[in-house]
Structure 1
């Protein structure tokens, strides 16, 4: 008779219960706070129905932050994918110094995201920043540009920084996928006279689809919740024009002391991200079956 201890579900049960507790208990606490009136010290002062949710939806800054979050997340994820695919394919080739090139690409991933953002803030300083200094030296500008002081330049620059810091992780995923593709397939395609574009379209891209899906989902989650870049460079300014949901959430909870509204927004962000992940993974799995 088979022992119950050899059942795989029994073996993973402790880890599953621990993970469920870590995830579900904070959600329960957030749900409780979000439907109560809360003071700045976190004390519940009574059930207020859904007033916190109504207050969040009624705040014009929320709608602006929501729209910018979609732009922020989509631009960085797409930009990182577009750049990382050719970079990974180049690094997958056999050439002299490939190991050094891989280390150079991966180095930014080893640096704290906050420190990277602070360095960029110094470089983008409107008066003494290296970017203005370099552009003036090249004769491209006549006067300093206030990169982070204007909404028209601050948010695009932050998106550019987000793409740069996302590339190392994405390239790592793609390198793992490329290394799993057999060289025999490329040799057969070469013998058949296939061009590099045909080889990429018919062999590389289809076999890389699972890794593309992983990169999209993980990057979407990371970028959606990415706090340091915007906070370390502009703190959502000027005039809240660079706020995304996560920085708007921080301001609600810790700057304005609106813990109830912050909890409501946290649950809304969790639901939004969970819905996207479930829908995307379902569509990706359906395409793989067909």
Structure 2
């Protein structure tokens, strides 16, 4: 009996803490989303799902939802594709490897908001560093307004999102690569396996659990990422770079529609929850097979 109950007793304090941090705010948000709320947060009449009906009838919300999915997929996939070869290189034994690792990890220590502000300066259409560099190389004749149009602003924001996500992802992959025994590579080389075969048959399968971790964590972080979009364009021009988290901020704190903002947060929570459950189940099924 003691053995059966001991695990539950041990995790009970963590469960209580998680409930206080997650479940109670969730209950309050649900309450806000189902009531008429004034801009000062005072709950008035019960209106059911009216806030959700208003949201799904708003073309800006629908556009922000699709844009959020595209933003998340682009940044996460781009980060994983770039981080794997970087981690493989940094895992090799070469002169200056320690300095190279520090340089890769250093951006992780800088505030994401500050990084986004620096990029906003660099992408300034008149005096930005990027335009100056491109003119100096003779690649452009006139300045490009990088953040003034969605056709250039959103791709640049995705580029920034990938850059700031690489250090964290490379750290995870380096941890996974350090756990791979060197004996496996020596045995594979003895059998005549080349570098590509070693990567495909040894490195990638053993690194897959760490790729899964990086994929899930990056998806959650990027999906909820606020500073990059807000510090560079604030969702503009004309809401063309809004994602759900910036749409939520504008709805709640600029327009003062706290009930609709609560409904947006619940929709975001539901999307991430469904994604996480599906992905974890697929990963567990793959691990069992």
CA distance in 1, matches of 2:48, 2:214: 39
| 1:148 matches 2:142 | no
Normalised by the length of structure 1, the TM-score is 0.98
| Cross-structure match for 1:270 | 269
For structure 2, list consecutive stretches of 5 or more residues without a partner in the other structure: none
For structure 1, list consecutive stretches of 5 or more residues without a partner in the other structure: none
Q: How does 1:98-113 map to 2 (within 5 A)?
A: 98-113=97-112
Deviation at 1:12, TM superposition (A): 2.0
| 1:127 matches 2:139 | no
| Cross-structure match for 2:64 | 65
Deviation at 1:3, TM superposition (A): 9.1
Give secondary structure in 2 for the equivalent of 1:37: strand
| Cross-structure match for 1:281 | 280
Give secondary structure in 1 for the equivalent of 2:124: coil
- Give the paired residue count: 289
CA distance in 2, matches of 1:189, 1:221: 37
| Cross-structure match for 1:159 | 158
| Cross-structure match for 2:31 | 32
Give secondary structure in 2 for the equivalent of 1:9: helix
CA distance in 1, matches of 2:121, 2:186: 49
| 1:198 matches 2:200 | no
Superposition CA RMSD, Å: 1.2
CA distance in 1, matches of 2:115, 2:20: 34
CA distance in 2, matches of 1:283, 1:2: 34
Normalised by the length of structure 2, the TM-score is 0.98
Deviation at 1:38, TM superposition (A): 0.5
1:4-52 CA-partner distances (Å, limit 9, x unpaired): 9x92321221121111121100110000000100000001111011110
Give secondary structure in 2 for the equivalent of 1:7: helix
| Cross-structure match for 2:251 | 252
CA distance in 1, matches of 2:3, 2:65: 52
